[in-house]
Amino acid sequence: MAFLCLFTILLAGFLPSSQLVIAQLLHDEKTLLAIGNELGLSGWGLNNSCYCSWPGIGCGSNNSMIEKLDLSRRGLQAFGNLSELEFLDLSSNKFGSSIPTELGRLRNLRSLNLSNNWLTGAIPDELEGLKKLQHFQIFTNRLSGSIPIWVGNLTNLRAFTTYENEFGGEIPDNLGSVSELELLNLHSNQLEGLIPESIFALGKLRVLVLTQNKLSGNLPEIVGNCKGLSSIRIGNNEFIGSIPKAIGNLSSLTYFEADNNYLSGEIIPEFAQCSNLSLLNLASNGFTGTIPPELGQLANLQELIVSGNSLFGEIPASILRCRNLSKLDLRNNRFNGTIPADICNTSRLQYLLLGQNSIRGEIPHEIGNCLKLLELQMGSNYLIGSIPPEIGHIKNLQIALNLSFNHLHGPLPHELGRLDKLVSMDVSNNHLSGDIPSTFKGMLSLIEVDFSNNLFTGPIPTFVPFQNSPNSSFWGNKGLRGEPLIASCVNAKGADSKNYHHRVSYRIILAVIASGLVVFVSVTVVVLLVMMRERREKSAKAVEITDDGTDNRPMIITGNVFVENLRQAIDFDAVVKAILKESNKLSSGTFSTIYKVVMPSGMTLSVKRVKSMDRTIIHHQNKMIRELERLSKLCHDNLMKLIGFLIYEDVALLLHQYLPNGTLAQFLHDSTMLPEYKPDWPTRLTIAIGVAEGLAFLHHVAIIHLDISSGNVLLDANFKPLVGEVEISKLLDPSRGTASISAVAGSFDYIPPEYAYTNASYSTGKYL
């Protein structure tokens, strides 16, 4: 009843006449007292004080008319209008309905903030009358529909922020009529179509944020007319074509982000004319050519991110003249040449990311001059020589040191043991030799190590980071011995035992290979020719028919089976065909759908189809595959083992062992539905302990499981719990709105451990 009375008071009309000011003031005070009583607001109505002094209330300088009402973070459940109100902040409450049409009565409003609520529905047309509105903030809600055309008639509007909603349709062309507009942020919606050219006619526009939508087309040349632009963020859309050279006219430009699009051509040298540019992000596009040397003129450049393109040439020496450069990300391109000796001329460099290129030569000893480096990525290149001991001088190195998949040789420098802040170290797949230095015991922050596939000898150190690492971190080193190699997974033990009892003389093997080489090559050529002819004939006759009767057989992009002895038993085509059948679906969760798939070989798999992957598959395919390969190496009795993966079109499939006992949720549900099926408490306790051990192992390798629940814990034939959904946090794109779990669980980057422990503890408590 109290709520109804308050709602009636708040929606009542107010006397607008200036001749009835006293009546207006009394009415305003009565309304505020009703609000205060309903919400239990402290400080309202005490000691007969003037309401202009109450918390959150602002009055005019020449009268006692209420001009400001700030009820943010008050848990407000109802609201009203005050006829002279100019500022209304209702942010961070629990509104769960649509925007009230009554707000349209507030004709004097200059600022309306409804952000961080649960508002749904469209923006009501009644707000069109708020002609004095200067700041319109409705971000982080669940609003939908299209952006109303009448927003373009709010000629006094200076800031319009709708980010993190579900708006669709096109951006209204008449937004270009809002001549006072300085900030336009439409980030993370479902907007489509082109950017209206009229937007770039706004002379006062400073910040334009259109990231994470479905916008397409070319960037218009007219962008150069918007002289005041300091920030352009258009990443994660579907833009095509080249970047217009008119960008060079934007002398005030500070940030330019266009990552994860379909842009092509060369990186334009006109960026060098934007003298204030501090961030240039062109990652995950189709750019070719070299990095323009003119970019070295950007004295204020702090971050250059061009990863995931097809750029080539040497690392431009001119870029190293950017004294303020803190991040240089050239990963996943085709850069060649050598690493310049003056790579650390910029003393502020914190991120040097050169992995997945064709860089050759030795790592320069001058790398030790990068004293502020937090992350050093040089994996998957053609580097030779030894690891410079000077890397041990980089005391701030914290996130990762990755030198894997190169041709490095020699021992590990003892100086690396000085890196006491380092979290992840990967030197796998090189020709490194010798013992693992005892000085590494000083690396107290180390969580993940990978020394596999080298020539290391001697005992594995007994330091905690090494003993807690999976055995796969040391595979491929014949001279290494000790834990955790001894405590390998069951499959690995069986394979090693079998190989031990069936060794064959190397001379016999070489003799057989030499005598059969010619025959083998001849037969292989003939077989390949026959297979190619049969494939052409099959593709010309028919394709796989799906359940809906169409002839659109999904195109398999890539895939891999990590368990070698299962590769012959798994048929990718059969997997894709099986998940198209609704009858094979087992369950559907927040991030994935699970299918039961029986292979032609008779093997049964549990196949997880990851939801909402869309264009992330295309842009981050290599990164995703590397993450899955790492996750497949995790070895623990209470973790669900990743057998393999498959990517077709825009769908990612994860392959696991099929467990007939299902999930813990099903186990508990069955116990309540079937009286005769009552799991005893010792079994429940064993399950709880197993889940805790699985989570503890994940924390040791810096992986946070943010979705632990009874539905993500599976039970084997002996009711041993296996924690699942570990891969999901690694596959979600951190740039994709609210589902950015991987923003926390990143690629083995440093994560404050207290976040993992508190979150996992809470989630574990929920399922317990």
Q: What's the CATH code of the domain at 567?
A: 1.10.510.10
Query: Looking at the domain assignment, is residue 699 inside a domain?
Result: yes
Q: How many C-beta atoms lie closer than 10 Å to residue 186's C-beta?
A: 23
Q: What is the pLDDT of residue 555?
A: 62
Q: What is the pLDDT of residue 599?
A: 85
- The Cα 706–Cα 726 span in angstroms is 9
Number of domains in the chain: 1
> Average pLDDT for residues 284-289, to the nearest whole number?
95
C-alpha distance from residue 706 to each of 317, 635, 764 (Å): 43, 20, 10
Query: Looking at the domain assignment, is residue 662 inside a domain?
Result: yes
| Per-residue pLDDT reduced to its tens digit, 84-102 | 788 999 888 777 789 988 8
Q: Residue 42's pLDDT band (boundaries 50, 70, 90)?
A: low
Give the pair of three-digit tokens for residue 33: 């007292």
Residue of 342, 287, 283, 339 whose CA lies nearest to 312: 287
Query: Looking at the domain assignment, is residue 358 inside a domain?
Result: no
Predicted model pTM: 0.61
- Please say if the pLDDT value at position 325 is more than 90: yes
- Sequence-distant contacts of 747-753: CB under 8 A, at least 24 apart: 747/623, 747/627, 748/400, 748/423, 748/424, 748/447, 748/448, 748/630, 748/701, 748/702, 748/703, 749/375, 749/399, 749/400, 749/423, 749/424, 749/702, 750/398, 750/399, 750/423, 750/702, 751/702, 751/704, 753/699
- The Cα 625–Cα 647 span in angstroms is 10
- Please say if the pLDDT value at position 491 is more than 50: no
Residue of 446, 455, 389, 447 whose CA lies nearest to 428: 455
Give the pair of three-digit tokens for residue 151: 């927003």
Which letter does DSSP use for residue 451 in this model? Answer: -
Query: Looking at the domain assignment, is residue 197 inside a domain?
Result: no
C-alpha distance from residue 561 to each of 88, 570, 571 (Å): 58, 8, 10
| Per-residue pLDDT reduced to its tens digit, 641-653 | 888 888 876 678 8
C-alpha distance from residue 768 to each of 122, 636, 756, 762 (Å): 40, 21, 18, 10
Q: Is 676 exposed, middle or buried (0-12, 13-18, 19+ CB in 10 A)?
A: exposed
Contact at 8 Å (CB) between 35 and 93?
no
231 φ/ψ angles, rounded to the nearest 5 degrees: -145, 125
Query: Looking at the domain assignment, is residue 638 inside a domain?
Result: yes
Better-predicted residue by pLDDT, 192 or 714:
192
Residue of 162, 157, 79 whose CA lies nearest to 111: 157
Q: Residue 28's pLDDT band (boundaries 50, 70, 90)?
A: low
- Paired sense of beta strands 375-377 and 400-402, if any: parallel
Q: What is the pLDDT of residue 731?
A: 56
> Minimum mean pLDDT among 370-384, 446-460, 643-657: which range?
643-657
| Per-residue pLDDT reduced to its tens digit, 519-559 | 454 455 445 554 555 544 444 333 333 344 444 445 666 78
Reduced to 3 states, what is the DSSP secondary structure of residue 258? coil
- What are the catalytic residues? 707
- The Cα 728–Cα 644 span in angstroms is 14
Q: What is the pLDDT of residue 100?
A: 87
- The Cα 418–Cα 152 span in angstroms is 60
Q: Residue 213's pLDDT band (boundaries 50, 70, 90)?
A: very high
Query: Looking at the domain assignment, is residue 589 inside a domain?
Result: yes
b/e per residue 281-308 (b: at least 16 CB within 10 A): bbbbbebeeebbebbbbbeebbbbbbbb
DSSP track, 307-353 = -SSEEEEPPPGGGGG-TT--EEE--SSEE-SB--TTTT-STT--EEE
The residue with tokens 């994470």 is 212
- Please say if the pLDDT value at position 513 is more than 60: no
Query: Looking at the domain assignment, is residue 661 inside a domain?
Result: yes
Structural domain containing residue 583: 556-767
Give the pair of three-digit tokens for residue 28: 């305003």
Which letter does DSSP use for residue 438 in this model? Answer: G
C-alpha distance from residue 663 to each of 106, 310, 660, 710, 714 (Å): 54, 44, 9, 7, 4
Q: Residue 52's pLDDT band (boundaries 50, 70, 90)?
A: confident
Query: Looking at the domain assignment, is residue 43 inside a domain?
Result: no
| Per-residue pLDDT reduced to its tens digit, 245-276 | 999 999 999 999 999 999 999 999 999 999 99
> Minimum mean pLDDT among 130-139, 285-294, 614-623: which range?
614-623
Give, in degrees to the nearest 5, the angle at Cα 93 between 89 and 94. Answer: 140
Contact at 8 Å (CB) between 557 and 648?
yes
- The Cα 710–Cα 665 span in angstroms is 5
Cα pseudo-dihedral 357, 363, 366, 370, rounded to 10: 50
Give the pair of three-digit tokens for residue 29: 């005070």
Give the pair of three-digit tokens for residue 317: 């020496």
Q: Percentage of residues in the chain with pLDDT exceeding 70?
A: 69
